[in-house]
Chains A and B, each alone.
Chain A
Amino acid sequence: MIVARPKSFEDIKKLIQNYKKVAVMGCGGCVTVRSIGGQKQAEELASLIRLWAKREGKEMVVTEVTLTRQCEPEFIDSIKERVGDWEVVVSLACGVGVQCLAERYPRVKVFPGVDTTFMGATIEAGLYWERCVGCGDCTVAETGGFCPVARCAKNMMNGPCGGSQGGRCEVSPETPCVWQLIYERMEELGIGEELDDIRPPKDWSVRPQSMVMEHLRVEKKTP
């Protein structure tokens, strides 16, 4: 799931201070699950902006709205009648959602209300760790189910570097060394000798990527 961190209110104020018609747009997808950018957070941010605008004597109309997902055309379309009322949309979706709105509605300014950080997992309530970079060439079958591309600071493909100590990564004592995890898991599974194989350089595919699933394609109606 996509993980994001709320921008500070100071940063958001700087983005919107010169506008009078502002919408705060939550997203019911990943950021809702993380309690970062869902309906509740959109309402809270909108209230905060109203209070601030009032205190500053600013004339500002603040609307809040939450889409089921900001990355799907049908949900994005649901606001097409209302977009004309806003100068600015502060999107609490991930960077994908922000751009989907910006592409669909070229006349409104779309600003991010969160910093999208990574694709990750909930380790415990409020603690998330990156797990995947979407490299397009998944080889975790060779590494005990752990990804050295997302989880090794140096993208090592052939075992731990010289900075692995006590199961921790040299870049930070909070970061587990993924190669220690790989080593332990593969030994445990009885396939430790596979670690002696040398893995070839990775294919760092062209970005941006696209993907076609033919069976899901629908015939486009003539515009």
Chain B
Amino acid sequence: MTGKNPQAVGAGFKPAPAIPVLTSGSHLEKLLREGRFVVTAELGPPRGAERAVVEKKANLLNGYVDAVNITDCQTSVVRMSSIASAQILLEMGLEPVVQMTCRDRNRIALQSDLLGAWALGMKNLLCLTGDHPKFGDHPGAKPVFDLDSIHLLHMLKTMREEKKMLSGTPLEGEPRFFLGAAENPFADPFAFRSRRLAKKITAGAEFIQTQIVYNVDKFARWMEEVREKGLHKRAFILAGVTPLKSAGMAKYMKKHVPGMDVPDTIISRLEQKKSKAEGMDICVEIIGKLRQIEGLSGIHIMAIEWEEVVAQLVERVGLLPRPVASSRQ
């Protein structure tokens, strides 16, 4: 089959030219390029139209983190849109990282929504393939997956640097997002995970936020591969962490969250102590160990429906106060 669609046939994928530094003007990008160890956190929008929920959660994070990821209907559950929630954060003076999945939007909708997000002042974008709808509250929804996360990254990089849409149509004003991707070091095949990370970086990822780390040893082995490939010099790597509330939550994650590696030692500690404080202690220890790993640029805290502990966590690991970028405008 030839010549049917220039986007898909014989396009001969070539990495876009190297990016100029500080394209987005985002605070997160500035801090990372200054070599600071950054802290980001996740905010899950409400399952409803209540703006105050976003404001309340954002207030809990304000001043304790450098940027706030806004999830895009995580686990395929319908929530307030990530772009709308990010707009609320902008109005409050916080810096959002917009998460965007390929699950619900084709290439037309993705480009359209993200042009709008840039126009609204959003500067950081995390490009994800997204969970399958099967896991959510509308399991019969049609999965879109027109593009995958690597296509999404490359599309945004091309928009930024060549000022063109995926179709090649010139843009009237290009979005210059600081582009991020996720990677799960605990998924299989393990030997391919760092290679897949390399693909994401080649496609356009400048920062990486990983799946939640509980198995620090396995994460350290993955980071070794990352360093061998020099990927930590091509993108900023932030390790994901989540404080566990209980042994039940730990077991649930181990059993039901795809690609999650929760060692039994952690579960038994939570079973013995039976307190949220133990979950916090474990998280503090994990962050402490992660900071010893060469090539890591920060942590990403996903305190799932537990945003109130983020401030305490950041303080306990000695990462307060959060810096003001020297070049912040």
The interface of chain A, by Cβ under 8 A from chain B, is 136-138, 153-167, 170-171, 177, 180, 183-184, 195-205
Q: How large is the interface on B (under 10, 10 to 19, 20 to 34, 35 or more residues)?
A: 35 or more
Interface segment, one of B20-28, B89-97, B189-197, B293-301: B189-197
Closest to A198 in B: B13
Knowing A137-B8, A197-B13, say if A164 contacts B195 (CB, 8 Å).
Answer: no
- Interface stretch (choices B78-86, B179-187, B313-321): B179-187
Q: How far in angstroms is the closest Cβ of chain B from A134?
A: 13
Q: Does B65 contact A (CB under 8 A)?
A: no
Expressed in whole angstroms, the minimum distance between the Cβ of B313 and any Cβ of chain A is 24
In Å, the complex CA distance between A120 and B196 comes to 29
B143 at the A/B interface (Cβ < 8 Å)? yes
Distance between Cα atoms of A131 and B43 in the complex (Å)? 39
Among B148, B184, B187, the most chain A Cβ lie within 10 Å of the Cβ of B148
**A198-B188 contact in complex given A156-B148, A158-B150, A203-B9, C-beta closer than 8 Å:** no
Question: Does B13 contact A170, Cβ atoms closer than 8 Å?
Answer: no
B328 within 8 A of A: no
B145 close to chain A: CB less than 8 A: yes
**B115-153 Cβ-contact flags toward A at 8 Å (1 or 0):** 000000000000001111011000000010111101100
Cα of A162 to Cα of B148 in the assembled complex, Å: 12
A contact residues around B258 at 8 Å (CB): 162-163, 165, 170
| A198:B203 contact, CB within 8 angstroms | yes
**What CA separation (Å) do A201 and B145 show in the bound complex?**
10
Q: What is the minimal beta-carbon distance from B10 to any residue of chain A, in angstroms? A: 9
Task: Say whether B166 faces chain A, with CB atoms less than 8 Å apart.
Answer: yes
Q: Is the CB of A162 within 8 A of B199?
A: no
Asked whether A195 lies within 8 Å of B148 as measured between CB atoms, the reply is no
A162 near B134 with CB under 8 A, answer no
Mostly, the A contact residues are loop
Question: In the complex, which of the residues B13, B130, B184, B189 contacts A180, with contact meaning CB atoms closer than 8 Å?
Answer: B189
Cα–Cα, bound, A196→B107 (Å): 23
Which of A154, A167, A195 contacts B129 (CB under 8 A)?
A: A154
* Alpha-carbon distance between A157 and B153 when the two chains are bound, in angstroms: 14
Is B46 positioned at the interface, with any CB of A under 8 Å from its CB? no
A13 to B135 Cα, complex, angstroms = 34
B198 at the A/B interface (Cβ < 8 Å)? yes
The answer to whether A154 and B259 touch (CB under 8 A), given A165-B188, A198-B199, is: no
Residue in B8, B154, B188, B202 whose beta carbon sits within 8 Å of that of A160 in the complex: B188
CA distance A157 to B203 in the complex (A): 13
| Among all A-B residue pairs, the 9 with the closest Cβ atoms | A162-B184, A203-B8, A170-B258, A163-B258, A203-B5, A158-B150, A200-B11, A162-B259, A155-B145
In the complex, the chain B residue whose C-beta lies closest to that of A161 is B129
**Inter-subunit contact A160/B189 (CB<8 Å):** yes
> Can you spell out 28 A-B residue pairs with CB atoms less than 8 angstroms apart?
A153-B132, A153-B143, A154-B143, A157-B150, A159-B195, A159-B196, A160-B192, A162-B184, A163-B187, A163-B258, A164-B189, A164-B259, A166-B188, A170-B135, A170-B258, A171-B134, A180-B189, A183-B189, A183-B192, A184-B189, A196-B198, A200-B8, A201-B8, A201-B151, A201-B166, A202-B8, A203-B9, A204-B146
B252-297 contacts to A, CB under 8 A, are 258-259
Residue of A nearest to B5 (CB): A203
